[in-house]
């Protein structure tokens, strides 16, 4: 027997919202790490909380790939 569906909407209570954010953030970061390992994928994840705090995950190759892509894009923009 599966779980019932829940309605996805903003949580009005600030404390409950922060607790839910923290739990779901950790779950999402764990899933990103697992995806990178299991599928040999390049994964990057950036999360900003409602207070503006930054949380991030990137596989080592993703960081390198992103840096290379950005430098190539800048080089193309300069040469255009």
* Residue 53 placed within a domain: yes
pLDDT of residue 80: 72
pLDDT band of residue 79 (cuts 50, 70, 90) is: confident
pLDDT higher than threshold 70 for residue 1 = no
* Residue 8 placed within a domain: no
* Residue 9 placed within a domain: no
Q: Where are the beta strands (DSSP E) in the chain?
A: 44-48, 54-58
* Residue 57 placed within a domain: yes
Domain that holds residue 43: 14-79
pLDDT of residue 38: 97
- Contact between 50 and 17 (Cβ < 8 Å): yes
Burial 58-76 (b: 16+ CB within 10 A, else e): bbeebeeeeeeeeeeeeee
CATH (domain of 21): 3.40.1810.10
* Residue 6 placed within a domain: no
* Residue 4 placed within a domain: no
* Residue 29 placed within a domain: yes
Each residue of 23-72: pLDDT tens digit? 999 999 999 999 999 999 888 888 999 999 999 898 877 777 778 888 88
If one compares 71 and 10, the residue with the highest pLDDT of the two is 10
Task: Provide the domain count of the chain.
Answer: 1
Distance CA 17, CA 21 (A): 6
In Å, the largest CA–CA distance within the chain is 60
């Amino acid at each position: 027997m599966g779980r019932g569906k829940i309605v996805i909407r903003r949580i009005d209570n600030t404390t409950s919202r922060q607790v839910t954010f923290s739990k779901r953030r950790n779950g999402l970061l764990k899933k990103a790490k697992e995806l990178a390992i299991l599928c040999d994928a390049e994964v990057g994840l950036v999360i900003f909380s409602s207070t503006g705090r930054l949380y991030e995950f990137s596989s080592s190759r993703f960081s390198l790939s992103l840096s290379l892509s950005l430098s190539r894009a800048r080089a193309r923009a300069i040469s255009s």
